[in-house]
Structure 1
Amino acid sequence: MADGESGDLGPLLKALEHVRDTAEAVDIAKRVGAIIGLPYPSCIADYSDPLLTRTRDGKTYAELFGWSVDFREDWERNRLNLISPIANVCRYSTKPFIWRSKDVVSMMPAASGAKQRQWHLTPERHIAGGITIPVHMPLGRVSSMGWVAREEVRPFEEVLARYSIELRLVALLFLESVFDQRSEVNVPAPAMTAGDTGLSEREVECLSWVALGKTDSEIATIIERSVPTVRFHLENAMKKLNVHNRTQAAALAAQAGILGPMVQ
């Protein structure tokens, strides 16, 4: 625990709720890490992006959090977002979880030997493990906030048991500040949102089957309509979503959460 810090995250949560700039948010994240005994914060705003999350002036949050250049370069150069077991948990869960570096190394995909050797959060690089909080943001973006330790001074299970709720709130508020900062500079507005598409129930139904790989004739059989009727609904959906083909329409509607889960 840092000097002058109590074990209460409440005041930091309040401060983060009214944060004014990136530097202030980063400082709060570091202070949270000092209190819980995992002093290295990390955040990924979008796991589909191979680049680290950046501030409005182009600096990475990883740099501001104190991660060395070799860690930062490894993530981007080796596209570790594609093979990270931590990222995979975040894609399928919303629950905070503990990971230890010795276990993560053993979880790396067996078929990616070269990639496995490039993984950076290893015991050899003096990483013990950490706690990660998945955060699912609008338009299908999978994000996370976490704190990492070079040695397990205090059992991670004990930390998570005490601070689980507060860490979830810190992660959400921090990532909201990240997206607020990004929205102010050179980030285009989304093409549409779930509430403004005007898609009919039948159009959504047809798009759902397109997303599952069905052809027009197969969809016609499933919904007991003619092929021209299916095409009519899909063409209407494409116009409303302002896209040029059925695949784009299905992808955009799925991203916006209109179609529901494609994987059960």
Structure 2
Amino acid sequence: MNNLNMFESLLDCKTVEELHSSTTAIAREMGFEHFLYGVQVNTSLTRPYRFILSCYPDTWRKHYDEEGYANIDPTVSHCAKTSIPIVWKNEIFKGRKEARVRSEAKDCGLVSGASFSVHGGCGEAAMLSLSTSRESREAQDDILAVMGKAQLLTCYLHEAVQRIVLSKGPVPLKKINLTEREKECLLWAAEGKTGWEIANIVSISERTVTFHLQNAAQKMGVVNRQQAISRALSMGLIEPHTIL
């Protein structure tokens, strides 16, 4: 099986169990003993939807969550901001807290590795970390040699998760298409403008403003103006430059 076929096989998976098994096999073929994929969908500013697929040691996963390490792990903050991969090097874990994360991860067999990110068109952000228990210059060279393949794995895995999980989740991840007028009305509503004020700004009737805001809310699966503004902002459906 060539590399592309290997990754495309993920798209044939029908269940989370199949996807976990296939991803584990691919990761190990690439020289990694462990992987962890996580995605966050900003369906809410305060309660985003998260999904994790992992073959990390359970003891480490539990400890990591209990200690809130996601808030201080530099690989997480890096992948949240950029699509550039990051190799785990000691200089990345500079502070005392970050160094503790690194040290304790090593104790659990997550010694060398790299993390990759992908940012989707519906506001979701995903991250894949691949790890091995090997610690040597050779291990680092092996990781660098498969960086391109690992990024491909990240993209294909994310697409597979979208099909199997996110499209059927609590708030299905789907492309939401707002009209320019709906975006415009939402933007002014986000600025605290009333329906009457928005009507005067964009030169339409107040009833038409209400119509556009209700349509936008319905498309996003929310029930009121405040939720519509929150959902649109968190999913990147409206941005300040839209009205310029």
CA displacement at 1:228 relative to structure 2: 10
**Residue aligned with 2:130, SS:** strand
- State whether residues 238 and 244 of structure 1, in contact with CA within 8 Å, keep that contact through their aligned partners in structure 2: no
Structure 2 counterpart of 1:37: 31
* Aligned match for 2:192, one of 179, 190, 215: 215
**Residue aligned with 2:95, SS:** helix
* 2:93 is the alignment partner of 1:104: yes
**Residue aligned with 1:44, SS:** strand
- State whether residues 32 and 130 of structure 2, in contact with CA within 8 Å, keep that contact through their aligned partners in structure 1: yes
Q: How does 1:180-199 map to 2 (within 5 A)?
A: 180-182=163-165, 187-190=169-172, 193-195=175-177, 197=178, 199=179
| Cα gap change, 1:17 to 1:31, in 2 (>3 Å) | same
CA displacement at 1:40 relative to structure 2: 0.9
In structure 1, C-alpha distance between the alignment counterparts of 2:181 and 2:167, rounded to whole Å: 37
Corresponding letter in the other structure for 1:89: H
Structure 2 counterpart of 1:238: 213
* 2:77 is the alignment partner of 1:88: yes
Structure 2 counterpart of 1:3: none
Give CA-to-partner distance per residue, 1:53-81, whole Å, 9 cap, x none: 46xxxxxx33xx2x322212123334443
In structure 1, C-alpha distance between the alignment counterparts of 2:210 and 2:96, rounded to whole Å: 44
- State whether residues 101 and 129 of structure 1, in contact with CA within 8 Å, keep that contact through their aligned partners in structure 2: no
In structure 2, C-alpha distance between the alignment counterparts of 1:108 and 1:164, rounded to whole Å: 27
The alignment yields a C-alpha RMSD, in angstroms, of 4.2
Q: How does 1:1-264 map to 2 (within 5 A)?
A: 9-46=3-40, 53=51, 61-62=53-54, 65=55, 67-100=56-89, 103-104=92-93, 106=95, 108=97, 122-153=105-136, 154-156=138-140, 159-160=143-144, 162-182=145-165, 187-190=169-172, 193-195=175-177, 197=178, 199=179, 201-208=180-187, 211=190, 214-216=191-193, 225=200, 235-240=210-215, 241-242=217-218, 243=222, 245-260=224-239
CA displacement at 1:13 relative to structure 2: 1.9
Q: Give 5+ residue unaligned stretches, structure 1.
A: 1-5, 55-60, 110-115
In structure 1, C-alpha distance between the alignment counterparts of 2:135 and 2:120, rounded to whole Å: 30
- State whether residues 136 and 142 of structure 1, in contact with CA within 8 Å, keep that contact through their aligned partners in structure 2: yes
In structure 2, C-alpha distance between the alignment counterparts of 1:252 and 1:138, rounded to whole Å: 14
**Residue aligned with 2:84, SS:** coil
In structure 2, C-alpha distance between the alignment counterparts of 1:255 and 1:52, rounded to whole Å: 14
In structure 2, C-alpha distance between the alignment counterparts of 1:231 and 1:22, rounded to whole Å: 47
CA displacement at 1:43 relative to structure 2: 0.8
| Cα gap change, 1:108 to 1:50, in 2 (>3 Å) | farther
The percentage of counterpart residues that share the same residue type is 17
Corresponding letter in the other structure for 2:157: F
- State whether residues 207 and 250 of structure 1, in contact with CA within 8 Å, keep that contact through their aligned partners in structure 2: yes
In structure 1, C-alpha distance between the alignment counterparts of 2:235 and 2:19, rounded to whole Å: 28
Corresponding letter in the other structure for 1:167: A
CA displacement at 1:101 relative to structure 2: 5.6
Corresponding letter in the other structure for 1:72: R
TM-score between the two structures when normalised by the length of structure 2: 0.69
Which structure carries more relative contact order (alpha carbon 8 Å, separation 6+)?
A: 2
Q: Give 5+ residue unaligned stretches, structure 2.
A: none
- State whether residues 50 and 76 of structure 1, in contact with CA within 8 Å, keep that contact through their aligned partners in structure 2: no
Aligned length: 231
In structure 1, C-alpha distance between the alignment counterparts of 2:181 and 2:40, rounded to whole Å: 32
CA displacement at 1:147 relative to structure 2: 0.5
Structure 1 stretch displaced more, 249-258 or 143-152: 249-258
- State whether residues 122 and 173 of structure 2, in contact with CA within 8 Å, keep that contact through their aligned partners in structure 1: no
